[in-house]
Amino acid sequence: MRLQYIAIEGVIGAGKTSLTKMMAETFAGRSLLEQHDTNPFLADFYKNPQRYAFQTQLFFLLSRYRQQQEIPQTDLFHNMLIADYIFAKDRIFASITLEDREFVLYEKLAVLLERDIVKPDLVIYLQSSTERLLGHIKKRGRDYEKFITEEYIKSLNEAYNQFFFNYKDSPLLVVNANEIDFVHEENDYQDLLDQLNRPISGVQYYSPKKS
């Protein structure tokens, strides 16, 4: 099957946006990137998660939904669409940030919106350790991320792993990204591209061996 829509996922700091941009350039495709900076509640959420979780989550849910509605309208000049998230990720965050009553309300809205969402031909999950994720977050130095705690990333990492352990909506390639650097190591990037030339159905795992 020819891949026309690939989504790349991973916890904050996994490198999904960098990889999305690289692959879009390689395949002369279109990238679909999350707009984190447009969420007016995000910085407040990292400072005070309990108070701002619901507003933050609803803004992301509706923002991601609006973006997803553009997918069927991709123009003919692009052979491939590559996104740095899947719509279902929103539920992962909601499950660990919202209180029970908030999550019930959120879930009712999310279920309605999900009916219109196009499923990717392939999802690539960049699986990383909490320590590596925290290192990347610190290195890139986004001002609004400086309040992110190790506990939050750890819980998010566990939630992601559990989610993708049960994921069945699209073919899934799970990449052990702990020891590789797609951005600065050309061989690492090419090895991953080679994986995409092979048939992928169900769930497959890719763990590069460094020489």
Percent of the chain whose pLDDT exceeds 90: 64
Count H helices, E strands: the chain?
8, 6
Looking at residue 143, its pLDDT comes to 82
Contact 92, 159 (CB under 8 A): yes
Compute the mean pLDDT over every residue in the chain, rounded to the nearest whole number. Answer: 89
Range 142-151 average pLDDT: 87
Could you tell me which of 13, 27, 38 has the C-alpha nearest to residue 122?
27
Dump pLDDT digits (tens) for 8-57.
Answer: 999 999 999 999 999 999 998 899 999 888 999 999 999 999 999 999 99
pLDDT interval class at 1 (50, 70, 90)? low
Structure tokens at 16: 């999904």
Tell me the C-alpha distance between 86 and 22, whole Å: 18
pLDDT tens digits for range 156-209: 999 999 999 999 999 999 999 988 888 888 999 999 999 888 888 888 898 876
CA separation for the pair 49, 26 (Å, rounded): 38
Which residues sit opposite 9 in a β-bridge?
125
Comparing 93 with 69, the larger pLDDT belongs to: 93
Q: How far apart are CA 167 and CA 161, in angstroms?
A: 10
- Is pLDDT at 76 greater than 50 in this prediction? no
Active-site annotation, residues: 84
User: What is the Cα–Cα distance from 82 to 17, expressed in whole angstroms?
Assistant: 10
Residues 6+ apart with CB under 8 A from 129: 157, 178
The fold adopted by the segment(s) 5-206 is Rossmann fold (3.40.50)
By the 8 A CB rule, do 122 and 170 touch? yes
What is the reported pLDDT for 74? 57
